[in-house]
A and B are shown apart, each in its own frame.
Chain A
Amino acid sequence: NFMLTQPHSVSESPGKTVTISCTRSSGSIGSNYVQWFQQRPGSVPTSVIYNDNQRPSGVPDRFSGSLDTSSNSASLTISGLKTEDEADYYCQSYDSSNRWVFGGGTKLTVL
């Protein structure tokens, strides 16, 4: 099976843009959908991106998802950072048998 590798932590200032990567260890990143979850401290995870780049209703358009086949990775980009974006972010995809694979999570600090 494959792994999804995320940076352990990232930090950026309010108003700036940050990108969180999610690199697939084997197989093509484009072969199965990627989801991104946000988990604020003490809260339930919520979807911020599904099906690679689709934004659920209610999620601001500051959040966007993309794939980069050259690096075999997915990315979550958050522009116009706000302090409320401070959270853990997890990528998730599927293997060839439709079993889930989670990335290890990235702690975003907005300072």
Chain B
Amino acid sequence: QVQLQESGPGLVKPSQTLSLTCTVSGGSVSRGDYHWSWIRQSPGKGLEWIGYIYYSGSTYYNPSLRSRLSISQDTSKNQFSLKLSSVTAADTAVYYCARCWSSPCVWGKGTTVTVSS
């Protein structure tokens, strides 16, 4: 049974780069027809799709974040990662990684990231 776990700093300073990693167990990020996804939820708000990386390495980004966003995968560690540059307080959120597409999404537990000096 696949499991996902987010990791990374809980506090990031404004204008810096937010970096998170999702470690996958019980499945491979380089096999299967899945979207290895990042989703976030700002305090008291709804879900916002950030982007995903396909098992082949192709990436798909939310147009509103595209200029600041990079999603990559490390198949040797069975991980995929998120980098969001030039962060502001508006990027404060719970960040989730998930595996989705043509099957029920499997979500990580989420990690809270606060942008503050």
A residues lining the B interface (CB < 8 Å):
1, 33, 35, 37, 39, 44-47, 50-51, 56, 88, 90, 92, 97-105
The 4 closest A-B pairs by CB, nearest first: A100-B49, A56-B104, A47-B104, A105-B46
A99 to B, closest residue via Cβ: B60
Give the A-B pair count, Cβ closer than 8 A.
52
Is A101's CB under 8 angstroms from B104's CB? no
Is A51's CB under 8 angstroms from B102's CB? yes
Is B62's CB under 8 angstroms from A102's CB? no
CB distance from B64 to the nearest CB of A (A): 10
Q: Kindly list chain A residues whose C-beta atoms are within 8 Å of the C-beta of B105.
A: 35, 37, 45-47, 50
B74 within 8 A of A: no
Given contact pairs A35-B105, A44-B110, enumerate 16 new A-B contacts (beta carbons under 8 Å): A39-B47, A44-B107, A45-B47, A45-B96, A45-B105, A45-B107, A46-B107, A50-B104, A50-B105, A51-B102, A92-B49, A99-B60, A102-B46, A102-B48, A103-B46, A105-B47
B61 to A, closest residue via Cβ: A99
How many chain B residues touch A (Cβ–Cβ < 8 Å)? 21
CB distance from A77 to the nearest CB of B (A): 18
Q: Kindly list chain B residues whose C-beta atoms are within 8 Å of the C-beta of A33.
A: 102
Q: Kindly list chain B residues whose C-beta atoms are within 8 Å of the C-beta of A56.
A: 104
Q: Kindly list chain A residues whose C-beta atoms are within 8 Å of the C-beta of B104.
A: 47, 50, 56
A50-B104, A104-B46, A105-B46 given; A97·B109 CB < 8 A: no
B103 to A, closest residue via Cβ: A50
CB distance from B47 to the nearest CB of A (A): 5
Is A100's CB under 8 angstroms from B107's CB? no
B37 within 8 A of A: yes
CB distance from B45 to the nearest CB of A (A): 9
